[in-house]
Amino acid sequence: MQLDTRYTAVSVTNETEETFFQGIKDCVPTLLAYLSIGFACGIVQKTAGLSLAEIALLTLFVYAGSAQFIVASMYLISTPLAVITTIFFVNLRHLLLSAALSPYFQHVTPYRNMLIGTMLTDETFGVGIQKAAKKHRISEKWMHGLNVTAYINWFVANMTGAFLAQWISNPDALGLEFALPAIFIGLLMISIVERKKLRTDFIVAILAVALVMICQVWLSGSMSIIVATIVATTVGMVVAKWK
């Protein structure tokens, strides 16, 4: 019994040994997407009429690509209340992202947990949940390294795009919008390879594609994707638990 206790203690220690620097290294694969989307976001915000100071404040305090694009598109045509309300509903997904990762930070105080959640993004969540698939809990230092690196990179990309906006009038021509789906495809493939549950993943993928095609007969494209995602992931979870 004592041996089991010692083994458990060693296992927990090993699971939390990742350092701040390791978090920086693990963020590197997502940096290209941040640079591309952030660069485009800076250009769009600048061409919408925002000043460099306003873009800097949005990047530092809002820190959400979708929200910043919304501000740029609604800046001249909507009231501040309408902009704030739209951003609120668009960013509600962060509550779900934080809730999904919170069980892996039960060893952290609520205040320190709040700091982690404040800097969480779609991309850092993707890297974090991939790490969580192999751990019972995640290192706080590692998560801060991941989040801070993404935060700084996003700020630099936004400000660079805003500064160079006077020479680039059409960011869509550069194809930068594909960087975001590309990074999530990459994270998904890494997760599939590391999970080593190819049959379950294959079933979920085929089901999701089939559901999207079927649902588009009655629903819009975006709603079809949402329905297919919910149903396919639920089936995948049931299959995994059943095994």
Question: What are the tokens at 31?
Answer: 């940096």
Query: Which residue, 30, 21, 26, 15, is CA-closest to 139?
Result: 15
Position 87 scores a pLDDT of 85
Burial label for 105, CB within 10 Å (0-12, 13-18, 19+), is buried
Sequence ranges of the domains in the chain:
18-196, 197-243
| H or E element at residue 172 | none
> Could you report the per-residue pLDDT of 5-56, keeping only the tens digit for each?
443 444 444 444 688 999 999 888 888 778 888 888 888 888 888 999 999 9
Burial label for 110, CB within 10 Å (0-12, 13-18, 19+), is exposed
Answer whether 70's CB lies under 8 Å from 44's CB. Answer: no
Burial label for 52, CB within 10 Å (0-12, 13-18, 19+), is middle
Answer whether 151's CB lies under 8 Å from 63's CB. Answer: yes
Position 11 scores a pLDDT of 44
**Half-sphere exposure in the Cβ direction for 222 (13 Å, CA):** 0
Query: Which residue, 200, 203, 204, 208, is CA-closest to 225?
Result: 208
SS (H, E, C) 70-103: HHHHHCCCCCHHHHHHHHHHHCCHHHHHHHHHHH
pLDDT band at 141 (very low <50, low <70, confident <90, very high): very high
> Could you report the per-residue pLDDT of 73-128, keeping only the tens digit for each?
887 777 888 888 888 888 888 888 888 888 899 888 888 888 898 899 888 988 88
> Could you report the per-residue pLDDT of 47-65, keeping only the tens digit for each?
888 999 999 999 999 998 8
Higher pLDDT, 79 or 151: 151
Report the chain's mean pLDDT, rounded to a whole number: 80
Q: How far apart are CA 120 and CA 118, in angstroms?
A: 6
Query: Which residue, 95, 130, 88, 91, is CA-closest to 114?
Result: 95
- DSSP 8-state secondary structure symbol assigned to residue 1: -
Average pLDDT over residues 149-153: 94
Helices 80-90 and 65-74 cross at an angle (nearest 10°) of 150
